[in-house]
Chain A
Amino acid sequence: MAGRGALARTTLAALVVLALVWSLAPYLWTLFTSFKTERELYQFPVTYIPKNPTIINYVHVFTQNPFGRFLLNSAIVTVLSTVLCLFIASLAAYAFARLRFRGREPLLVGLLVVAMIPLITLIVPLYVLVRNLGMLNTYWGLIAPYVTYSLPVAIFILTAFFREIPHELEEAALIDGCTRMNTLWRIIAPLAAPGLITAGIIVFVYTWNEFLIAMTLTSTADVRTITVGIALYRGEFTFPWGVISAAVALATIPIMTLILLGQRLVIRGLTAGAVKG
């Protein structure tokens, strides 16, 4: 039996190593690339750890290109979208989780159907709409659709979390003369903090990483987000893999930090919306 336990442990360790290599190696390769000189980039057989590490690519990211501006744009758009989406979604989720009203089920099904519509179907009408509203190439022109397309998933997650909060607390507050709106802000919201953080992270990741809308609705560097900035970046002579790698590494850092802080919650949130009530 002892031999079998050791074998099982070794197998598990080997599988863990495989899982780590598969998940991390491509990103590590990008990081290594970002510290290489132009000459070292094109050596074959390749070098892994940079021989003459340089930060020139990172300097170029910020000095020769507007990537700093792109990162700032992404941050502004993503933070505003996430906050606005959470606010609107928590109102709706409270109604779905706690109130009895006609049309509740059809509205939930409607949300599900909206969530399934491919973005490519919406993009042209959206472009025309945003143009007619005079919001083309503005932050708000991006924020409004981002809020909208994140609403279904945020509502599903928050509804699931709100349902778990014991009714008794709320009833006690209602009996003590609290209005429903007050119970929402005083009782439910603090208890639902993990749900809000979960939904917030998922909306944040979606918005930060979004490409098609940002590509279509922006046209200048002062509004363009980082995904579009990197995707459209072409060098003058050779394809600038060093600078691209540095930009990719930088663009991924905010999301990774966020995920590391809230990973337990994210895992729960990914399925929370799926639990049938």
Chain B
Amino acid sequence: MTGQITQGELAAILLLPCFAFLVVFAIYPVFNAIWTSLHHLRLDQPHLGTPFVGLRNFARAFGDEYTWHSIRVTLVYTGVTVSAQLVLGLGLALVVNRLVRARGFVRAAVLLPWTMAPVLAGQMWRWLFNDQAGVVNDLLNRTGLVQGQIIWLGSPVLAFFAVTVAATWGAASYMALILLAGLQGIPDDLYEAASLDGASPLQAFLAVTLPLLRSAIMVSLVLRTLGALQALDLPFAMTGGGPGNATETFALFIYKNTFQFLDFGYGAALSVILVVIALGFAGTYYRVLAPRD
């Protein structure tokens, strides 16, 4: 047999197309972003060229109060939405998991928010929170909780709240699905054993469900945190970062610096900072939540 090749050679052939794409469209751009972050590059000032400026873009970023503001917005946004998503997602997953009848239908319904593009969900929620004819104001008025029309997207605090509600709606659905898969992996005998031992449903939940869901929770937290840290579509569509810059996430701030002010060097430095933040979160989660052998 002359045509025999080793496993290593076959692996190289099979991996070649995949890594060709990754090197060209992902790895090269990352290094390019790092390179750009160390240079002055403004599209609106081409006569300046692209001189090397060392860490000056980073120094500017750390001295820029808007950077800190948008990082704060992002961290609060991430904290609030991811916790709300975890609680709601767990609730939804537990409800679906308990169902026997109509399970398929309810599960499909719970899946629905995840299927909607964040940028479209942003448009949709902007209409729901509309002050003139929005359904949120209508319901608040009908139930007598509020009189008159609240201008949701016109006040910093309310707009931020509205954006987090919209973000939670879409992603809680995603959390629920991951947690549901985790719940389905827990054998029923464990619950039977717990109930024979006289455990209440709450005790069974704390002693059986939560520990066994650990890895599903870990996965969903990491995925959702990484998603929330780079949130751009939803605030872009819903508020455009406003009013003022109350809902301007870090990713949106980077987007504006890059595409509106055409300051590519500064935008690249900011985006490198975002990478560091994202990897920092992922590493922390892994240390805290990863199963120990």
Contact = CB atoms under 8 A, between A and B. Distances in A.
Interface of A: 12, 15-16, 19-20, 22-24, 26-27, 29-30, 33, 41-46, 88-89, 91-92, 94-95, 99-102, 104, 107, 111, 113-114, 116-126, 128-129, 144-145, 147-149, 151, 155, 179-180, 205, 208-212, 216, 227, 230-231, 241, 244-245, 248, 251-252, 255-256, 259-260, 263, 266-268, 270-271, 274
Contacts of A33: 127
A160 to B, nearest CB: 12
A268 B181 CA distance: 6
A91 B15 CA distance: 7
Interface residues of B, number: 96
B44 to A, nearest CB: 14
Contacts of B134: 46
Contacts of B117: 208-211, 227, 251-252
B132 A92 contact: no
Contact of B25 (A24, A99, A121, A129): A129
Contact of B99 (A16, A118, A251): A16
A44 B149 contact: yes
Contacts of A268: 181
A29 B120 contact: no
B112 A256 contact: yes
Interface stretch (B29-37, B57-65, B153-161): B29-37
Contact of B115 (A30, A113, A227, A255): A255
Contact of A44 (B18, B22, B133, B258): B133
Given A30-B124, A266-B177, 20 more contacts: A19-B96, A26-B125, A27-B116, A44-B133, A44-B149, A45-B138, A92-B15, A117-B278, A118-B271, A118-B274, A118-B275, A125-B28, A129-B29, A144-B24, A209-B119, A212-B255, A263-B111, A266-B111, A270-B181, A271-B178
Interface stretch (B191-199, B203-211, B226-234): B226-234
Contacts of B282: 116
Contact of A259 (B91, B115, B133): B115
Interface of B: 3, 7-8, 10-12, 14-15, 17-19, 21-22, 24-30, 32-33, 36, 88, 91-92, 95-96, 98-99, 102, 104, 106-120, 123-125, 127-128, 130, 132-135, 137-138, 141-142, 149, 169, 173-174, 177-178, 180-182, 184, 215-216, 219, 226, 229-230, 232-233, 236-237, 251, 254-255, 258-259, 264, 267-268, 271-272, 274-275, 278-279, 282
B28 A270 contact: no
Contacts of A126: 25, 29
A259 B111 contact: yes
Contacts of A29: 127-128, 135
Contact of B106 (A16, A116, A155, A256): A16
B26 A20 contact: no
A23 B237 contact: no
B96 to A, nearest CB: 7
Contacts of B109: 19-20, 23-24
A-B pairs, 5 with minimum CB distance: A209-B117, A125-B29, A125-B32, A148-B25, A121-B271
A56 B232 CA distance: 32
Nearest to A102: B8
Contact of B127 (A128, A244, A270): A244
A177 B206 CA distance: 54
Contacts of A92: 14-15, 17-19
Nearest to B121: A26
A87 B138 CA distance: 50
A266 to B, nearest CB: 7
Given A124-B36, A124-B268, A99 B95 contact: no
A120 B230 contact: yes
B272 A147 contact: no
Contact of A151 (B7, B22, B216, B254): B22
Given A42-B132, A117-B30, A209-B118, A241 B271 contact: no
A100 B125 CA distance: 50
Contact of B116 (A116, A209, A260): A209
Of the candidates A89, A155, A209, the one having the most CB atoms from chain B within 10 angstroms of its own CB is A209
A12 B98 contact: yes
Contacts of A252: 115-117, 120
